Amino acid sequence: MNYSVRKSEDILFAIKVIATIGIILGIIFGLSNVSLENSVIIYTILVYVLLILLYIWFYKVFLVAYMKGNGICVSETQFPEIFNLYCDMAKNLGINNIPPLFILQQGGLLNAFAIRLSGKNYIAIYSDIFCLYKTDIEAVKFVLAHELGHIKRRHNQKMFWTFPSLVIPFLTSAYSRACEYTCDNIGGSFISDETSKLQGLLLLAGGKHIYKEINIKNYLEMAKQNRSLAVKFVNLFISHPYLPNRIKNLQTNEF
């Protein structure tokens, strides 16, 4: 399967790796060359970091348990046509261990996510997206392929092993946005029709009832007009690019 990787993704990941190595070496050097008083401060910081990691781990345990407890697991006997489609996309991406796919009912929210726990990947898709498989299978394909893209590119592992680089302002959010662009490209690579490629993103923008009525050209023009300093500033902090930017990325295929 051919797809385009966002150029900045690999560059930003390399910076995260360098920053992580530098921070770890700095901590090791600092602990071996500081006074007792300063070492207490460093050890206190390390304890807080460990507590944060422990919190993230418990959150993942909770989320996976919630998926398994309440979610509908797509399989050969549960929505088999979607399961076969999902497996085919995973195999086309070279994913040998196909992650379990769960449907979650979240009160009308539109989302999907990939999560990794104890060396195993999982994917969840919210029911208000999944229910469109009968009327707009391309939108569902895009969302599923996008999440499979995170697994293909090992984004969760890369985020985990470069966790210390979080101290570098804006770096992790910039890397996350680059990853989202790449996964959009992966989602789009499974859809031949240019207009249909955008349906998954328009679904997130307008919701399942009106997304097909959105005037894409006007949506992008208005987004450009609304690109104020505040909008650009907030963009530095968010993990996902603005939807108009993601749509333009698929349209132009400029990487």
pLDDT in tens, 130-180: 999 999 999 999 999 999 999 999 999 999 999 999 999 999 999 999 999
Q: How many residues does the chain have?
A: 255
Please give the residue range of the domain that contains residue 89: 7-252
Residue 1 within a domain: no
Cα-trace Rg, the chain: 20
Residue 234 within a domain: yes
- Position 252 scores a pLDDT of 83
- Position 255 scores a pLDDT of 35
Q: Give whole-number Cα distances, 220 to 104, 149, 163, 244, 251, in Å.
A: 31, 25, 34, 6, 11
Alpha helix segments (H runs only) across the chain: 7-32, 36-70, 80-92, 127-130, 137-152, 155-161, 171-189, 194-197, 199-206, 216-225, 229-235, 243-252
Residue 136 within a domain: yes
* Spatial separation of the C-alpha atoms in residues 57 and 211, rounded to whole Å: 36
Which regions in the chain score pLDDT beneath 50?
254-255
What DSSP string describes 212-224?
Answer: GG--HHHHHHHHH
The number of distinct structural domains making up the chain is: 1
Residue 60 within a domain: yes
Residue 79 within a domain: yes
For β-strands 72-73 and 112-117, DSSP reports them as unpaired
Alpha helix segments (H runs only) across 33-134: 36-70, 80-92, 127-130
DSSP assignment letter at 135: T
* Sheet of strand 120-126, all strands in order from the earlier edge strand to the far edge: 72-73, 101-104, 120-126, 112-117
Residue 2 within a domain: no
Residue 191 within a domain: yes
Residue 196 within a domain: yes
- Position 35 scores a pLDDT of 64
The answer for residues whose C-beta is within 8 angstroms of residue 70's C-beta and 6 or more apart is: 104, 105
Give the pLDDT confidence of 53-76 residue by residue, as tens digits: 899 999 999 999 999 999 999 999
